[in-house]
Amino acid sequence: MGISVHVYETVDEYVLRNKHNVSDKLEVNEAALALLDIWITPDDKLMVVCNCENFFDRPDVSRSISCFQKNNIHKYLKGDEKLVKYDDVEFDPKTENIQFFKKRLRKAPIFFKVGRFWGDKPRKSMKIDWSKKFFNIKLNRIEFILFDPKTISINLKPRRKEEGYKIDSKGNIGKKISKNDTGIPKNRG
């Protein structure tokens, strides 16, 4: 059997369908490996790079979807492959395809049929959340989760730094900074 592609509507749907494999402490699927990169060859084959070093020592390059280790992918790259970026992958609910490098008002040059969609189908094409993509070793499938813009807050305007106070990454104002403070701790001894 070949590698199938499954798409989930949300992370909650992913956890619901994989609850027998999901650890409460880790909040990830133990049987799934994180996908680091996806490369597309000139003959429209996917080269999937998994975050592992124990599996896929000798990948079958003749298949349409083949898996590679993070440390041996460079042995198989010839130089004419295209790296898939985070905004180059979409799910089309009408045709149930994962589309790569989609152009506006044109058919995507490279697409793969989705084996199963879990959740409520969206009405229009949606992007894939690039931070949540997995390869399930146990079931031999690639798992994508749709991008939900409501769950991620994007700061379009950077906040102005308040004079005399430290601001952490969450925007909380911390202790007051003196004029002599350079931010480097002083040796006390």
Q: Is 137 inside a domain boundary?
A: yes
Boundaries of domain holding 56: 4-146
Q: Is 35 inside a domain boundary?
A: yes
Amino acid at 189: G
pLDDT in tens, 94-105: 999 888 888 777
Q: Is 179 inside a domain boundary?
A: no
Q: Is 184 inside a domain boundary?
A: no
pTM for the complete prediction? 0.70
Q: Which of 154, 119, 148, 147 is nearest to 133 (CA)?
A: 147
pLDDT in tens, 53-69: 777 777 777 788 888 88
Give the chain's domain count.
1
Tokens 């992370």 belong to 11
Element at 16 (helix H, strand E):
helix 11-17
